[in-house]
Amino acid sequence: MSRVLLKLSGEALGGSQGFGFDSKILHFLSLEISKLIAVGHSVGLVLGGGNLVRGSGFAELSDDRVVGDHMGMLATIMNALALSSFLNRNQVVNKVFSALGIAGVAKDYDKNDALEVLSSGSVGIFAGGTGNPFFTTDTAACLRAIELQCDLVVKATNVEGVYSADPNTDKSAKKYDEITFNEVIENDLSVMDMTAVVLCRDHKMPIVVCNIDREDNLLKAASGDPVGTRVS
């Protein structure tokens, strides 16, 4: 069985509007995650915060990137708590960790404690990004995957995988079934931010990019079945 680090954008939790929370989406995601646990996969989660606040957006208003990024980290904690609540409703045991100290709300992130949670069959939800400004939640996801000895990162999107161009605006966009990290970097393809891509490349951590809206895609990715685009 695989140990998977699932990266979800904050906008995914907001449904079609991409803002706030969509209870149907949260319920769907919790059921999809429960399928992985049911067959013995180990699951960690990192969430973005863009459905509540984008740190980069505030930075443009205030000219203070550090404050903006801290606000974004807090948004990821709120998202982690929301998904944790829905996992609990579906009888999926989980633990929320935060890279930012927030006593009484989430456990401070500790690698050994996180490994214990994952090894026990519970879901680990890793909030607060890396705990540092200037790093995206994509980079946080790859960092957690590497230090927690995951087998792959699954980047959940609303498209079928990695394309040569934006498939929503370019009808001629070509989908890749497999692609190398160097090809992603050389062609500046939209997978994750380049810090995250280089981190995974250097540590030989594969990434599967797939459409999370399709039922069982997450299970297929974790099981090694063809789905989306594999970057390695």
Distance between CA 98 and CA 85 in Å, rounded? 16
* pTM for the full predicted model: 0.94
Residue spans of the domains in the chain: they are 3-231
pLDDT, position 192: 92
pLDDT along the chain (232 residues), means of 10: 95 86 96 97 96 76 85 96 97 97 95 98 97 95 98 94 88 93 93 94 97 95 95 96
224: helix, strand or coil: coil
- Token readout for 88 is 């609990």
In sequence order, the 6+-apart residues with CB closer than 8 A to the CB of 205 are: 142, 145, 146, 150, 152, 153, 199
Domain 3-231: CATH architecture, name and number where available: 3-Layer(aba) Sandwich (3.40)
Contact between residue 148 and residue 44 where contact means Cβ atoms under 8 Å apart: yes
